[in-house]
Amino acid sequence: MSKIIKNPEQFAPVPKPDAEIFLYGKGEVDFAWNFTRKDPFWFLYCNSGPGAYLKFEECEIRPGKKEIILIPPGTPFQSCCESPFEHLYIHFQIGRPYSRVKPGVLIFPSSICGTLEQLFREEQSSPAAVYALLYSALAAIPEERFAPEENGVDDRLQMALIMLNKNASNDEICRSIGMSGSNFQKFFKQKTGISPQQYSMKMRLEKACFLLSSGVNEISSIARECGFSDRYAFSKAFSKYIGIPPARYRQSTFRTGK
């Protein structure tokens, strides 16, 4: 006979890995989903049908209908668009044990998450459904994709990335991770290939892409919300990073509400 445990406190608590989502959205993509990336954060993609593919190393990856694509930090890949498709995306950070996942592209069937159809169907996504999708994908990562403990992402870098995503200053970050300003600059660039300032700019422009795709706010308002002094400074930085001006990006990328 099996023993019934009446006191749940006899079980050790399971630590919850905290995911920090800093960009989420969905919409119809036209031609401009063409990027070459190698970023120190995670990507989760899901498309409703064909029209796009990824290039990773020597492989061309064409996901099936509503398959879930999970891309760990430090993975070099290129996204390509051939025809319009409905696209769902999450950009996020997460600490241990997932900081030990090796670079590469992981593809999972939609059956791992019961909220996927709900997310594509609803105009306003439930935060619980978004996190359910995210944690379902993380839980599906096979054990062999985890590097040994000593090869994982440095906890100091993980904390710095999360704090930068929350617009923390370099001084605040240095105090939290116990580094001087100059050592932090060297450490961050050695680990990510870019400076903290460049990373912050990238995050601000990632957010701008999301806001532009929503089609709600004026471009000048988006510029202010993303920390730019005016529309001119925003347009200059955006054009350099994305390759086209904000107004053209808004016209030619996402068409939401369809």
Least confident of 102-106, 141-145, 224-228: 224-228
> What is the dotted CATH code of the domain comprising 197-255?
1.10.10.60
Domains in the chain: boundaries: 19-145, 154-193, 197-255
What whole-number distance in Å separates Cα of residue 49 and Cα of residue 63?
8
What does the pLDDT read at residue 10? 54
Q: Which CATH class is domain 19-145?
A: mainly beta
| Whether the predicted model's global pTM rises above the 0.85 cut | no
Please write the tens of the pLDDT for every residue from 165-221. Answer: 887 888 999 999 999 999 999 999 988 888 999 888 888 888 888 788 766 678 999
Say whether pLDDT at 11 is over 80. Answer: no
What whole-number distance in Å separates Cα of residue 112 and Cα of residue 139?
9
CB-based contacts of 196, cutoff 8 Å, min separation 6: 160, 164, 170, 173, 184, 185, 188
CB atoms within 10 A of CB 30: 15
